[in-house]
Every structure is written in structure tokens, then in C-alpha cells.
Amino acid sequence: MHLEEILSPSLCRSKVEGVSKKRVIGIMSSLIADQIDGVDEDDVFEALMSREQLGSTGLGNGIAIPHCRLAQCDRVIGALVSLAEPVDYDAIDGKPIDLVFALVVPEAGDTEHVKALGEIASLFLDEDLCFTLRHTNDDEDLYNVAIMT
């Protein structure tokens, strides 16, 4: 999987300000809902929050990967946000997060879901990539850095 298959410049936001965990998920929901016919932001938000209730998707090292399955989704869709200031996200290391990659997959996409999630998590193990993503200044730059991996 290549990130440009699931991510586009319109699905990236750099240096988002004044957010909380719920607001981050709301922003991601809005970005993704715009890409799926017949789905509104609340549908995506509810699905992502339901998954969060099972356990935080904050991986540690300032990274979160909220993800869910959605019946109306017909392909894997991702959204990437960097935050101006880290926020508490109940991450496994107890530290706040400042990079968020949301992932929505078709409801029946078990294999796609696991594969995409694993590949994205692997990308964020690259400290140099994370450093560069954190220091981008606009949405397009964030997108370009992400897909260069």
C-alpha cells in the first residue's frame, strides 16, 4: 500500500490549533466524511469514538491512529493531522499526541484494515519522518512529506 492511494492533500491539516481528543476525532471525521457519499461527519465520528471506547489508539511517542470500519465506505481512506500543541489522548505511554492518522475502511475489509493499520503504524516508527511531519507548515507540505516515505 502506498499512502497516496488512501491520502490526498484535502485529507491533511498541518498545525491544527486548540484541540482536545474529541475535537481531533471530529476534525478527522469531517475530512473523511467529505470523501464518502451518503455519510456525514457524525457517522464517522460515532464509529471512531466507538473504537476509542475499546481502548485508546494513542500509540505513544506523540502518535495516534484512530481507526474504524464503516458500512458505507467502499475503500480505505486516511486523513493526517499535525497539531500545533500536543493534546492528552490517553496514549499507552501517558504522553500527549501531536500527530494523528485516522483510518476508515469498508466494514467487510478485515484484511485491508489490518494491513493498512500495520503499515501506517510502521511508518510512524520512523523518528525522522515524525520529526519532519511535526515541522511542516502547511497542509500540502504535510501531504508531500507523508507520501515521500
Torsion sign over Cα 135, 139, 140, 146: positive
Nearest-angstrom CA–CA distance, 26 and 16? 12
Query: Does 67 participate in catalysis according to the annotation?
Result: yes
Q: Residue 70: enclosing H or E segment and its boundaries?
A: strand 67-70
Nearest-angstrom CA–CA distance, 133 and 7? 15
Give 51: exposed, middle or buried? Use CB within 10 Å, 0-12, 13-18, 19+. Answer: middle
Tell me the catalytic residues.
67
